[in-house]
């Protein structure tokens, strides 16, 4: 930097900017930092301070740019790399953050903050093995490090480690006032079968923090699975009513309540909650979209028409969501032309929106549009592949999964009806049989990829066929007699899957029992669109297909069926 620059003046401007930030004058703080940076654009301490201010004020895009510049001009400074990694994780670039920190391990290996930040990035990117090691390194340096204790407890819960609740108790001893720790403790106790203790914590969190959606969602799930008759009239979610009385103008709370009821097929109750929320917040666009969606699901098409017609124009993700939900409504009304027009606009802005493509597939089928064959009818789009696993290993996998289901729940908002679904990431767990299953599945995914048609930049799957793919979420489902999956779609992945682990005898059941039905319209939409393909159940065989295909299963009349499923996504 030019030595003639008045560093004292720059320092004064920095202090003035921080004072303005503290006083809530965000625009003034930004302007003062910009003025100082105009005088000293490559001063790393100033860049770091400006980045921290931007992050505290919620401008993560500005913070990322400033921290990146600080790291570029002072690559040897660990603090800047750690701060940069924090904002990268907040921007959804956790894999990039983890790689950044792994590259500066020599500088950070003696710093607890380095290891806790690295563990957080590794966990967010899905590498729980690395995250566990990083948190352990943090705690070796500082056994009472609050973030290290919390992070290690979260990893223990997500990996199904037996000491998760004890780890949460240890973290709470250091930071008793952290609500996230209490929620994690409740989840860990529930995983151990301590439902009453978990319920006490969840009730308290919901009552004391009426605006905290995570607490309400968890309590709804706990009640649905442990409270007799909780599904009747949507009673499992009535704690949202108390929260809404405390915060009557909280739009996110109202939208979450509508979503919880809709996800459990409590259509009439969701409609009523939507109308009540609209009466309190008539001008809130998020409430209007949720209420319109609930009205359409309740088949009050006139009301839904009016609500969608009154929606203000919106840009960005909110605009995409509104157009996708209105398109779903137009399909229910058997108006595929209007649905297609809405979806074309949505997908122009969000070309990988899975829900948009799934609905567009239905519209194209209704219109006899040949593009639907391009979307889902090309060779090897739906493919069943055998897994290279021995019978002995298969029996061990079955036994482990059945044991997990003894303490598993029905999750709110998922497709499971008449069964249970494992919590967390199945392949994040530490048991050896699950590692065997995971490795065999990865081989099958590569076999599927190599059999796909060539890359097509305009196709939602084929545009990603050559990218680095990873399992992004994984779970097991066990269904009893009559149990099934409702027709649904997985909006977060590139590929969806179904793997039959354990099947009841099929000879005496109805034709088609337990079959995977791919590509049909959800029955509640009222459309006469049968599945494009029906895949009979077969143990030790994995079916892979584009996530843009709606899918569900036919029920078995008797016995139990157990499956594993997962999403495949482009690696972060």
Tens-place pLDDT, residues 329-341: 999 999 999 999 9
Q: Is 21 within a domain?
A: yes
What average pLDDT does range 411-418 have in this prediction? 53
- Domain range for residue 43? 1-75
Same domain assignment for residues 430 and 519: yes
549 and 428 in a single domain? The answer is yes
Q: Locate 149 and state its tokens.
A: 């204790």
Q: Same domain, yes or no, for 391 and 342?
A: no
pLDDT in tens, 353-389: 999 999 999 999 999 999 999 999 999 999 999 999 9
Tell me the two tokens of residue 487: 């027709």
Q: Quickly state the pLDDT bin for 1 (edges 50, 70, 90).
A: very low
pLDDT surpassing 70 at residue 414: no
Could you tell me if 459 and 558 lie in one domain?
yes
Size (the chain), residues: 572
pLDDT at 482: 66
> If pLDDT is split at 50, 70 and 90, which confidence band does 231 have?
confident
Model confidence over 247-257: pLDDT tens digits?
A: 999 999 999 99
For every residue of 404-469, DSSP letters joined together read HHTT-B--TTSSEEEEEE--S-GGGS--HHHHHHHHHHHHHHHHHHHTSPPP-TTSTTGGGTTS-E
Q: Is the dihedral of CA 406, 386, 467, 382 positive or negative?
A: negative
In a domain, 138, yes or no: no
Complete DSSP assignment for 453-493 = PPP-TTSTTGGGTTS-EEEEEEEEEEEEEEEEEPSB--TT-
Please tell me whether residues 216 and 243 are part of one structural domain: yes
In the chain, helix, strand, coil percent, each to 5? 60, 10, 30
Q: Is 557 a member of any domain? A: yes
Q: Is residue 524 in a domain? A: yes
**Could you read off the pLDDT of 478-524 as tens digits, one per residue?**
887 766 557 889 888 999 999 999 988 766 666 777 789 999 999 99
Q: Residues 82, 100: contact at Cβ < 8 Å?
A: no
Six token digits for residue 543: 């079916």
> How far is the C-alpha of 125 from the C-alpha of 99, rounded, in Å?
10
Check whether residue 557 and residue 412 sit in a common domain. Answer: yes
Q: Name the one residue in this structure whose structure tokens are 């289901």.
A: 405
Which band of pLDDT confidence, cut at 50, 70 and 90, is reported for residue 99?
very high
Query: Is 432 in the same domain as 336?
Result: no
Domain boundary pick from 277, 296, 312: 312
Summarised one tens digit per residue, pLDDT across range 301-334 is 999 999 999 998 888 999 999 999 999 999 999 9
Question: What pLDDT does residue 512 have?
Answer: 74
More confident residue, 506 or 206: 206
Query: pLDDT exceeding 70 applies to what percent of the chain?
Result: 96
- Residue 319 sits in the same domain as residue 308: no
Domain end point (choices 75, 104, 139): 75
User: Which run of H or of E encompasses 386?
Assistant: strand 383-386
Residues 6+ apart with CB under 8 A from 553: 479, 484, 485, 498, 514, 515, 516, 517
**CB within 8 Å of 229: residues ≥ 6 apart:** 235
Average pLDDT, integer, range 233-246: 96
| Residue 131 belongs to a domain | no
Whether 96 is covered by a domain: the verdict is no
Q: Which CATH number is 470's domain given?
A: 2.60.120.620
**How many angstroms separate the CA atoms of 480 and 559, rounded?**
6
Model pLDDT for residues 109-152, shown as the tens digit of each residue: 999 999 999 999 999 998 999 999 999 999 999 999 999 999 99
Are residues 1 and 54 located together in one domain of the fold? yes
How far separated are the first and last CA of the chain, in Å rounded?
A: 37
Q: Are residues 476 and 531 in the same domain?
A: yes
325 and 391 in a single domain? The answer is: no
CA distance 572 to 568: 12
What value does the mean pLDDT of the chain take? 93
Residue 305, judged by CB atoms within 10 A of its CB (0-12, 13-18, 19+), counts as middle
332 inside domain: yes
Say how far apart CA 346 and CA 323 lie, in whole Å. 6
pLDDT in tens, 4-22: 557 888 889 999 999 999 9
Q: What is the mean pLDDT of residues 216-220?
A: 96
Task: Kindly report the CATH number assigned to the domain that includes residue 8.
Answer: 1.25.40.10
List the strands of the sheet with 551-553, edge to edge: 533-535, 516-518, 551-553
Phi/psi at 169 (5° precision): -60, -40
Assess whether pLDDT exceeds 50 at residue 413. no
Residue that finishes a domain, picked among 312, 335, 364:
312
Question: Which pTM does this prediction carry?
Answer: 0.88
**Number of domains present in the structure of the chain:** 4
For residue 87, pLDDT beyond 90: yes
Residue 561 pLDDT grade (very low, low, confident, very high; cuts 50, 70, 90): confident
- Please check whether residue 431 is in contact with residue 160, taking contact to mean a CB–CB distance below 8 angstroms: yes
Nearest to 367 by CA among 339, 344, 343: 339
What are the structure tokens assigned to 500, written together?
A: 């039959």
Helix or strand holding residue 296 (H, E): helix 285-297
Q: Residue 135: inside a domain, yes or no?
A: no
The CATH number for 238's domain is 1.25.40
* Beta bridge partners of residue 564, listed in sequence order: 476, 499
Least confident of 335-349, 474-488, 551-565: 474-488
Shared-domain flag, residues 361 and 396? no
């Amino acid at each position: 930097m030019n030595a003639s620059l008045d560093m004292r003046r720059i320092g004064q401007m920095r202090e003035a900017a921080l004072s303005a930030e503290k006083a809530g004058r965000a625009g003034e703080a930004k302007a003062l930092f910009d003025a100082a940076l105009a005088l000293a654009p490559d001063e790393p301490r100033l860049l770091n301070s400006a980045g921290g201010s931007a992050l505290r004020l919620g401008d993560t895009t500005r913070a990322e740019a400033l921290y990146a510049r600080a790291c570029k001009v002072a690559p040897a400074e660990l603090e800047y790399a750690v701060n940069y990694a924090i904002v990268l994780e907040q921007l959804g670039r956790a894999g990039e953050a983890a790689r950044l920190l792994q590259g500066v391990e020599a500088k950070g290996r003696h710093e607890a903050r380095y290891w806790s930040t690295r563990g957080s990035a590794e966990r967010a990117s899905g590498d729980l093995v690395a995250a566990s090691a990083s948190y352990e390194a943090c705690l070796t340096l500082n056994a009472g490090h609050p973030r290290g204790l919390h992070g290690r407890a979260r990893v223990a819960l997500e990996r199904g480690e037996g000491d998760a609740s004890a780890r949460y108790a240890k973290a709470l001893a250091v930071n008793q006032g952290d609500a996230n720790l209490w929620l994690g403790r409740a989840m860990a106790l529930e995983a151990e079968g301590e439902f009453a203790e978990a319920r006490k914590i969840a009730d308290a969190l919901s009552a004391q923090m009426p605006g905290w959606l995570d607490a309400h969602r968890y309590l709804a799930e706990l009640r649905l699975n442990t409270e007799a008759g909780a599904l009747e009239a949507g009673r499992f979610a009535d704690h949202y009513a108390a929260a809404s009385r405390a915060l009557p103008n909280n739009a996110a709370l109202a939208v979450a309540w509508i979503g919880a009821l809709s996800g459990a097929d409590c259509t009439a109750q969701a409609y009523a909650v939507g109308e009540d929320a609209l009466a309190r917040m008539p001008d809130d666009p998020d409430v209007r979209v949720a209420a319109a969606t609930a009205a359409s699901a309740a088949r009050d098409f006139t009301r839904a028409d009016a609500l969608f017609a009154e929606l203000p124009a919106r840009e960005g993700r909110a605009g995409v969501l509104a157009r996708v939900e209105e398109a779903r409504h137009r399909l229910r009304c058997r108006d595929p032309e209007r649905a297609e027009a809405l979806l074309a606009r949505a997908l122009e802005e969000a070309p990988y929106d899975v829900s948009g493509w799934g609905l567009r597939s239905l519209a194209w089928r209704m219109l006899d549009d040949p593009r639907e064959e391009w979307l889902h009818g090309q060779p090897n789009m739906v493919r069943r592949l055998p897994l290279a696993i021995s019978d002995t290993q298969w029996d061990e996998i079955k036994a482990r999964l059945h044991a997990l289901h003894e303490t598993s729940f029905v999750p709110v908002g998922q497709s499971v009806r008449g069964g249970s679904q494992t919590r967390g990431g199945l392949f994040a767990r530490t048991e050896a049989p699950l590692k065997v299953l995971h490795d065999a599945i990865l081989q099958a995914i590569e076999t599927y990829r190599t059999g796909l048609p060539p890359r097509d930049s305009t196709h939602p799957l084929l545009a990603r066929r050559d990218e680095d793919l990873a399992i992004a979420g994984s779970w097991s489902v066990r269904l009893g007699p009559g149990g099934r999956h409702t027709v649904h779609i997985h909006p977060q992945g590139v590929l969806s899957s179904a793997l039959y682990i354990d099947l009841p005898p099929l000879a005496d059941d109805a034709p088609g029992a337990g079959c995977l039905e791919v590509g049909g319209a959800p029955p509640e939409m009222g459309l006469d669109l049968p599945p494009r393909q029906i895949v009979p159940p077969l143990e030790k065989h994995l079916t892979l297909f584009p996530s843009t295909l709606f899918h569900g299963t036919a029920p078995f009349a008797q016995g139990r069926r157990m499956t594993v499923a997962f999403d495949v996504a482009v690696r972060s």
